[in-house]
Amino acid sequence: MTFTPRVFSGVQPSGSLHLGNYLGAIRRFVAMQDDYPCIYCVVDLHAITVWQDPADLVSATRHVTAAYLAAGIDPAKSIVFNQSQVSAHAELAWIFNCVARMGWLGRMTQFKEKAGKDRENASVGLFAYPTLMAADILAYQATHVPVGEDQKQHLELTRDIAQKFNHDYGARLAELGHADGLFPMTEPIIHGPATRVMSLRDGSKKMSKSDPSDNSRINLTDDADAIAQKVRKAKTDPEPLPSETKGLEGRPEADNLVGIYAALAGTTRDAVLGEYGGAQFSVFKPALAELAVNVLAPLNDEMRRLVADPAHLDAVLKDGSARAAAIAAPVLADVRRVVGFVG
């Protein structure tokens, strides 16, 4: 079976969006709209795998929606919706829970990191997070998923689940006219200078919404002063910047700041070092802060304008949910027939 090329991706409404979410995901979502039909989801079912205050979840869902629109996702062209409004995600996730193996999920590094030492106390949902993610993607038979590098392992698991489903139900699929399988081998799209933006406080940890230190990340809602202060305080080493990328090896904080600069300027690390090689951080940091403010200020203004009109954002999500549900419905109908559910 050949699958119509289609993009799916999502962001969790689980806190304040940061530069990593923007550079590693949202900005790339915008670019893909010109080449593919795209579905962009606010993954609220994923968010509740760790505790979310209900009022905060409402507001974070609208914030992620506003960030999508402010960044340039066109809701008339692409589908923008929140996951919980389309029941196909939860339904297919259950079926995939019965396809995926405990051992596969037990190897997921994100679960290990998020559950930490207190695994017994982690929610079952946090453990099963990757099967829901597989359902998000495969309910739309999506062929391409733009994500940051942290999601690579989950995308590999999505392919494993698709392959096992296609294999286990192979005979039944053939009977029903899907001899080549019902699900595609989805490609992760991970490229560019900022697929893994690191914490400003620790170059070995990724920038994350859930980091307790607000100074570790640049939030999309930070104003110019906050951005400048966070960049100024960012951890670095005492050496000047090297003239070539090879010189960034073993210098994770310097590498991170150069990577952020390159991504914001739409250029390469080499080009940045061509300009700033030999410069001290006292010169580079103010230039980086100015660039970050120039890129983020218009986004910030537009997000604020959109968030002030929650009825509009909710209407976008409702319309997108109806369009998403219409695409998932025939796929789920096929899944039910293939599995052997009556009715």
Indicate which residue of 77, 206, 235, 318 is catalytic: 206
Please pick, from the candidates 49, 65, 151, 186, the single residue that binds ligand AQP as defined by CB under 6 A: 151
**Catalytic annotation, pick one of 117, 209, 285, 318:** 209
Looking at 21, 84, 216, 321, which residue binds ligand AQP (CB under 6 A)? 21
Number of other CB atoms surrounding residue 42 within 10 Å: 28
Q: How far is the CB of 145 from ligand AQP (least distance, A)?
A: 8
**123: which residues sit within 8 A by CB, 6+ positions away?**
49, 50
Q: Is 210 in the site for ligand AQP (CB under 6 A)?
A: yes
Least distance CB 335 / ligand AQP (angstroms): 24
Based on CB atoms, which residue is closest to ligand AQP, 12 or 300? Answer: 12
Site string for ligand AQP, 156-195 (x = CB under 6 A): ---------------------------------------x
Answer yes or no: are the C-beta atoms of 296 and 222 closer than 8 Å: yes
- Determine the interface stretch with ligand AQP among 8-16, 89-97, 101-109, 282-290 (rule: CB under 6 A): 8-16
Q: What angle do CA 94, 100, 104 make, to 5 degrees?
A: 135
- 112 in active site: no
The verdict on 196 binding ligand AQP (CB under 6 A) reads yes
> Exactly one of 114, 152, 164, 235 is catalytic; which is it?
114
Classify residue 22 as exposed, middle or buried by CB count within 10 Å of its CB (0-12, 13-18, 19+).
buried
Report yes or no: 41 and 9 within 8 Å, Cβ to Cβ.
Answer: yes
Rule CB under 6 A: choose which of 7, 24, 66, 143 binds ligand AQP: 24
Asked if 164 is an active-site residue, the reply is no
114: annotated active-site residue: yes
* Near ligand AQP by CB under 6 A: residue from 11, 128, 257, 272: 11
Instruction: Tell the burial category of 101 from Cβ atoms under 10 Å away from its Cβ (0-12, 13-18, 19+).
Output: exposed
288 belongs to the binding site for ligand AQP (CB under 6 A): no
Q: Which is nearer to ligand AQP, 209 or 285 (by Cβ)?
A: 209
Residues recognised as catalytic = 114, 206, 209
Q: Which residues bind ligand AQP (CB under 6 A)?
A: 11-12, 14-15, 20-21, 24-25, 147-148, 150-151, 195-197, 206-210
